[in-house]
Amino acid sequence: MSVRWYSTVIDCADVAAQGRWWAEALGWQIAYEAPDELALVPPHALTKGDSIPVEERSPGLVFILVPDGKQLKNRLHLDLAPRAGDDQEAEVARLEQLGAKRVDVGQGDDKTWVVLVDPEGNEFCVLSPRDT
């Protein structure tokens, strides 16, 4: 018997705002929403649904309401990658227009990725373009 990665859960103070921000950032859709929880999935999860074999289904993102705020650097973060041939800086600029901010977590200037934080301060990276 084995298990599969079903979702990544993100604690937040404003479930609706965080979920909608990430939906816009990723181009994903809301699959479930309640006052204390919101789940996002890639668009194909809603359009192709049951026709996708279970082992090929992408994990979702779930945002849950927690009373305490973020205090330290995340021990887990998301890496986002533009498609091969796309412009990393243009994607970073788009995310910044949505409300992301660049941060320095000690990565240095010579890296091929950019570290950002979402509106609630959760770190994530935008990698160099790639399709693999």
Question: What's at 108, amino acid-wise?
Answer: G
Query: How confident is the model at residue 64, as a pLDDT?
Result: 96
The confidence band for 1, taking pLDDT boundaries of 50, 70 and 90, is low
What are the phi and psi torsion angles at 69 (to 5°)?
Answer: -85, 170
pTM over the 0.85 mark: yes
- pLDDT tens digits, 34-54: 999 999 999 988 887 778 877
| Whether residue 55 has pLDDT greater than 80 | no
